[in-house]
Amino acid sequence: MDTLAVAALAFVGYIIAYRTYGRWLANRVFQLNPDAEVPSKQLRDDVDFVPTKREVVFGHHFTSIAGTGPIVGPAIAVFWGWLPALLWVIFGSIFIGAVHDFGALVVSMRNRGQTVGQVAGRLISRRARVLFLLILFFALTIVLAIFGLVIAIIFKLYPASVLSVWLAMPVAMAIGYWGYRRNGNLLIPSLAALGLLYGAIWLGAEGWTVEFIQQTAADGEATSLVDLRVGATNILTGLPLVNPTIAWTAILMLYCFVASVLPVWLLLQPRDFVNSHQLLVALVLLVAGLGVAGLSGKAQLVNSTPALVASDALPANTPNIFPFLFITIACGACSGFHCLVSSGTTSKQVACEKDAQYVAYGSMLLEGGLAVIVILACTAGVGMGLFSAEENGRYTAVLAEDGTAVSGNAAWATRYQPDGDWKNFKLPNTVGAFVEGGANFLSALGIPLRLAIAVIATLVACFAATTLDTATRLQRYVVQELASSFHAGPLQNKYVATGLATGLGLLVALLPGPTGVPGTGGLILWPLFGAINQLLAGLAFMVLVFYLWRRSQPILFALLPMLMMLIMPAWALLLQMFSPENGWWYTEQYLLLGFGFIVMALQIWMIAEAIMIWPKARGVLEEGLPPLPAATS
């Protein structure tokens, strides 16, 4: 019952927050006006600027911001115990994350859909614009590299998810054409697509998979083959390729290039709309399974995981909970990446200013709800029992020495106590914890474990994929904006800019790690991603604060989160760079150290720009936008 009670209280809290604090922000602070002009209509080009129904925009926005972040972050953070993670997710999403997303969307909409970086140039200084864009460039490069690798790892670990994820692309394009060119209703085709995608999940669980399998040839040399299976029967093999992670990452970057240059209505919007339904069904199943498991007593939060793990019980090299909790959980509480989605793509699609609360504030609260479910799955769900895959695709329970199934705190400790050293706690462990715990919840509904695992793995892959292609489009905008600042004409072309974005993302993803294996170096950047992401949130709050300050509006509700999101990640980044125990300076992690120095220097410079202009900005409106060209008849 404790698991169910925590989930119920969290969701009731989110509903109350939306109807009180969210409404106060919409009506009293931002004063949303249903008659205001919006960029999607002012600059309509039917490629990036497209007025869209709020349900479709909500689907795009939610699936874009809710990538693997609200899954991986909480799945790591419960390492310290479930209570700190839960408190940061609930209160952070209500008072920090949702305000950040909402504010970024409103500011962008009132500046013709300009990104936060562009708006910073007029609100703070022209140099601030370039500095912000450079920070965005480095942050998005890391996002593309890491999320590409994460999806590749999911495809490698859970091949049953592959068919459904890739089937969504052509289905979405067909729906986009139907809805936009034929003015057809999207709901019925989307529900039909949902049935197709869940049918594909079932086929994947039954063995219809596409895998890149590493094998050893007769002469002892390692090879890698593409292996298309129908059930247990191999029907295509023998094509030599690089290792599975590299192969999938390269394919994903090629897809991202295509997705970024296509009109937003053809793939991005319908794919996110279809995925939002698929993800909603998976979340409903998770909540229902959590409820059944909680009522039956199978999922016990307190008996599975400590509320707060004592410091002497943590493995060696475990980072301090302060400040690292606040960069470990980003998406789900507050994430700087969200300001890029709000101002980069969503602001160009919202058809009515009043929709901003529903789209931005509502999406962030729903993502917070997802993070709560992840926390419970990685604690009470994992505590329901562990299982291992067999060669026949079946799963069996992991047994203790006495022959009983491992469950409760013993199951959680097996997953979260990595051989006495934090450095052994890898990314696949965290994804695996959510897949196992979530599948246990679904199994409480009577869903076969193999199918349950496929559903949860597809959920993770779809979340990550929607973020990946949105990030590519955002990086294309950033490259084009930087190119205009430095008068680099060729890079203003969308194809060239997208090629640079995906090419650089692939290059960083495939960097060799300490072992010299390509594809392992990109994951080294994961610790840097959290710090940069949260610093970006602090800088986005800075832009919001200046927007309000110049209009003599209340700023305290945004100023306090701004200070927190500047101080906490900077503190964590400095500890990572210079800590004698784990610092990059001492461990010769020069890639991380270099990225860290660049980002820290850019941030300090931008803060200095803001401090210099602050006394002069109170009540003084920024320079206005140039007039729109006259419409031609």
Q: What is the CATH number of the domain that holds 486?
A: 1.20.1740.10
What does the pLDDT look like over 247-262, one tens digit per residue? 888 899 999 999 989 8
pLDDT band at 264 (very low <50, low <70, confident <90, very high): confident
User: What pLDDT is attached to residue 594?
Assistant: 86
CB atoms within 10 A of CB 612: 11
Number of domains composing the chain? 1
Fill in the DSSP letter of residue 207: T
Which amino acid, residue 489? G
Helix (H) or strand (E) holding 268: helix 268-296
Residues 168 and 156: their CA atoms lie apart, in Å, by: 19
Instruction: Note if the pTM is more than 0.85.
Output: yes
Scan for tokens 């994460």, then name that residue.
Answer: 150
Confidence check: pLDDT of 304 > 80: yes
What mean pLDDT, rounded, does the chain reach?
86
Q: Across residues 329-336, what is the average pLDDT?
A: 94
pLDDT of residue 369: 95
pLDDT category of residue 234 using cuts at 50, 70 and 90: low
Whether 216 maps to a domain, the answer reads: no
Percent pLDDT > 70 in the chain is 90
Domain contains 149: yes
> Quick one: pLDDT band at residue 632, thresholds 50, 70, 90?
very low
- Alpha-carbon span 276 to 271, nearest angstrom: 8
On whether residue 227 sits in a domain, the answer given is no
> pLDDT at residue 485 above 60?
yes
The answer, yes or no, to whether residue 519 has pLDDT greater than 70, is no
**Would you say residue 541 has pLDDT above 60?**
yes
Give the mean pLDDT of 21-27: 97
Q: In this structure, is residue 395 part of a structural domain?
A: yes
Residue 222 lies in a domain: no
Does the residue 214 lie in any domain? no
627 within some domain: no
Return d(Cα 202, Cα 450) in angstroms, integer.
9
Residue 566 has pLDDT above 80, yes or no: yes
The reported pLDDT for the residue numbered 439 is 94
Q: Which residue in the block uniquely carries the two structure tokens 């139907």?
A: 178
β-pairing, 209-216 vs 222-230, is: antiparallel
Return the top range by mean pLDDT from 189-198, 397-406, 483-492, 612-621: 612-621
Q: What is the pLDDT of residue 9?
A: 96
Q: How far apart are CA 157 and CA 528, in angstroms?
A: 24
Beta carbons within 8 Å of 213's beta carbon, 6+ residues apart: 224, 225, 226, 227, 244
Q: How far apart are CA 71 and CA 84, in angstroms?
A: 16
Per residue in 353-407, pLDDT (tens digit) is 999 999 999 999 999 999 999 999 999 999 999 887 765 566 777 877 777 788 8
Domain span at residue 451 reads 2-206+245-617
User: pLDDT, tens digit, for every residue of 407-444?
Assistant: 898 888 888 876 667 777 777 778 889 999 999 999 99
Neighbours of 584 (CB within 10 A): 23
User: Would you say residue 155 lies in a domain?
Assistant: yes
Report which residue type is found at 583: G
pLDDT of residue 580: 78
Closest CA to 39 of 625, 536, 477, 478: 625
- Residue 245 DSSP class: H
Tokens of 504: 């650089």
Backbone phi, psi, residue 302, to 5°: -65, -40
- 428: cis peptide before it, omega within 30°? no
pLDDT digits (tens, 9 = 90+) for 155-209: 888 888 888 888 888 988 888 888 877 777 777 888 888 899 889 899 888 877 7
Which residues, in sequence order, are bridge partners of residue 234?
229
Over residues 539-543, mean pLDDT: 96
Do 381 and 440 touch, CB atoms closer than 8 A?
yes
**Residue 393's pLDDT is what?**
60
Interatomic CA distance for residues 65 and 101, integer angstroms = 10
Rounded CA separation 165/152 (Å): 12
Confidence class of residue 633 from pLDDT cuts 50, 70 and 90? very low
Measured CA distances, 40 to 53, 139, 172 (Å): 11, 26, 22
**Phi, psi for residue 271 in degrees, rounded to 5:** -65, -45
Q: Helix H segments across 44-95?
A: 54-65, 69-77, 82-92
Do the Cβ atoms of 245 and 153 come closer than 8 Å? yes
Asked if pLDDT for residue 549 goes beyond 70, the answer is yes
pLDDT at 520: 66
- What pLDDT, on the 0 to 100 scale, is given for residue 47? 83
